Structure 1
Amino acid sequence: MSWLKKMFITLMFSLTLAAGLFIGFFGPVLFQEGNPIPLLVSILKLKTTDSNYVQFLNSEKQSMYLAANQGKNPLFEVKEFMKSKGWKFEEQMGSGLIFLKDENEAIVLTRQYSKYFVIWDVSKSVVR
């Protein structure tokens, strides 16, 4: 067996082992929201632009956003987003933020995505 062939086999084995270990350790975090590709693309957008949040899902019933965790107040971006849509923050109940607008009530559900990011779900009827 030639030296080049041995080196290629060793390299492929090492890459396969590294990928397996990566997925083994980080798989649960990566796949906690289902398909991780939209979230990974959104993380890249957050890191490469001046945006404070990125929309990564837009369906008929809801929109989902990803924001960087800002430390002391990780829900600041959610409150600012809803304020820009005319909603006033009322209170927080667990992971839900309650907003009021013209005697209507909206609940925005939030959850932590790793220690660096926050995901929030907004109903389509809220942001129209």
Structure 2
Amino acid sequence: MKKLGILVALLSVGAIIIFSNKIYYPSLPIDSITQKEAIRKINTSSNDLVELSKDHNATWYITAISTMGIQKVDADIQQLMENEGWVFLEKEGSGLFFEKNEERTIITTEMWTKQYVLIQVPAPIKQ
């Protein structure tokens, strides 16, 4: 009976660690931030697109899926890019194509969970 009590206690501690650190979420394609930090950022922000990470290759954003679905995400990305002077050309799969001064770029989206989408913006776009 004592062994069963120890087993239950260990499982309880393990479950608490997993849920408090958001380990049950899929891994992120970004090394500089944890799942827990990503969820905290999106939950504490009033913005639709929340910056997660920025390096010399890309800026990563996260957004929550609304009742409007991926169309709202696409509209938010288009607004972000238009603010930087880019013109939306087309969407193909998970890529949104933009053009500015005869230069083209692709913004990619990735479903992270059923509730969240990750957005990768190439580095020359956002400074």
Structures share fold, TM-score greater than 0.5? yes
The 8 Å contact of residues 26 and 112 in structure 2, kept in 1 or not, is answered as: no
**How far, CA to CA, are the matches of 2:59 and 2:108 in structure 1?**
11
2:47 partner letter: S
**C-alpha distance in structure 2 between counterparts of 1:39 and 1:54, whole Å:** 14
Deviation at 1:78, TM superposition (A): 1.3
Q: How many residues align?
A: 121
| Greater than 4 Å deviation, 4+ residue runs | 19-22, 34-37
Per the normalisation by structure 1, the TM-score is 0.74
Please say if residues 98 and 108 of structure 1, whose CA atoms lie closer than 8 Å, have aligned partners that are also in contact: yes
Identity %: 24
In proportion to residue count, which structure has more helix?
1
Structure 2 unaligned segments of length 5 or more: list them. Answer: none
TM-score, with structure 2 as normaliser: 0.74
What do residues 25-83 of structure 1 show as CA deviations (whole Å, max 9, x unaligned)? x74x4225365953432322222221212211211111111111123313222111111
By how many angstroms is 1:10 displaced?
6.4
Q: Which moved more, 1:116-125 or 1:30-39?
A: 30-39
Structure 1: gaps of 5 or more residues: none
CA change 1:66–1:21 in 2 (3 A) is closer
Cross-structure match for 1:110: 109
